[in-house]
C-alpha cells in the first residue's frame, strides 16, 4: 500500500486555492455568504466513491451525509437530523440515496460473519437480505448477487426515508420530496439511476 505524508494534503489545498482564485477571484467571497444545496445525498463512507468528485459538483451544491453502506436507520438521529435540516432549513427537495457496487458493508452483511460492533449496523442490511432472499437465491453468480443486493439496499433505504418523521411531516405540509436511487459503478465510473432501470 502506498503511504502518503498527510502534510501533502495541506500542500494540495494551497495549490487548489490558487487554481480556484485564478479562475474566479470572488469564489470564496460568494461561498462564505451561505449554502444553497440542490440536493441531499446519502452515500457510503467508502473512500473510492467521493460523490462530489464523481458527480462533478462545486462546493455548496450537495448536502452530504455518509455512513457504512448508505443506510437509513430510524434510530440514527445523526442522519435524521441532517435530513430535517436539509428539508426544513435549506429547502432541499431532492434526496439521493447513493450506493456503489463492491460495497464492503453489503458484502459483510451477506457473508454473515462476526465482525464486532459493526454487526449492529449491518443488521439493517440483513433485513434487506431477508426481504429479498428468494430473488437473491435465484442468482447463481456471487458477484452479480452482491451487485443486486447493493441495488435492493438502495431501494429499501428510499422506503425507509418514506417512513421517517421528516418525510411524513413534509408531506403533511404539502412539501414534495423527490427521492432518487443511484448506484456508482467502480468498474466504469458511471452512476446508474435505479428507479429508471431496476424493477422490483
Positions marked active-site: 44, 46, 48, 100, 103
HSE-up of residue 189 (Cα within 13 Å, Cβ side): 4
Q: Would you say how long the chain is, in residues?
A: 200
Q: Cα–Cα distances in Å, from 87 out to 101, 115, 156, 170?
A: 28, 35, 20, 8
DSSP labels, 33-88: T----SEEEEEE--TT--HHHHHTPPTTSEEEEEEGGG---TT-HHHHHHHHIIII
Strands 62-67 vs 39-44: parallel, antiparallel or unpaired: parallel
Written as nine digits, the cell of 18 is 490558487
CA angle 27, 31, 35 (to 5 degrees): 150
Amino acid at each position: 500500500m502506498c503511504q502518503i505524508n498527510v502534510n501533502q494534503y495541506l500542500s494540495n489545498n494551497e495549490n487548489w486555492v490558487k487554481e480556484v482564485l485564478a479562475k474566479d477571484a470572488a469564489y470564496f467571497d460568494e461561498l462564505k455568504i451561505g449554502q444553497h444545496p440542490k440536493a441531499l445525498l446519502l452515500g457510503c463512507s467508502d473512500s473510492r466513491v467521493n460523490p462530489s468528485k464523481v458527480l462533478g459538483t462545486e462546493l455548496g451544491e450537495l448536502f452530504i451525509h455518509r455512513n457504512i453502506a448508505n443506510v437509513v436507520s430510524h434510530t440514527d438521529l445523526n442522519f435524521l437530523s441532517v435530513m430535517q435540516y436539509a428539508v426544513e432549513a435549506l429547502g432541499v427537495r431532492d434526496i439521493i440515496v447513493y450506493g456503489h457496487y463492491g460495497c464492503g458493508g453489503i458484502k459483510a452483511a451477506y457473508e454473515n460473519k462476526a465482525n464486532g460492533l459493526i454487526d449492529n449496523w449491518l443488521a439493517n442490511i440483513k433485513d434487506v437480505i431477508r426481504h429479498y432472499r428468494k430473488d437473491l437465491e435465484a442468482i447463481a453468480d456471487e458477484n452479480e448477487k452482491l451487485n443486486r443486493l447493493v441495488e435492493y439496499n438502495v431501494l429499501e433505504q428510499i422506503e425507509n426515508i418514506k417512513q421517517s418523521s421528516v418525510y411524513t411531516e413534509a408531506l403533511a405540509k404539502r412539501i414534495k420530496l423527490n427521492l432518487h436511487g443511484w448506484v456508482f459503478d467502480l468498474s466504469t465510473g458511471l452512476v446508474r439511476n435505479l428507479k429508471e432501470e431496476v424493477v422490483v
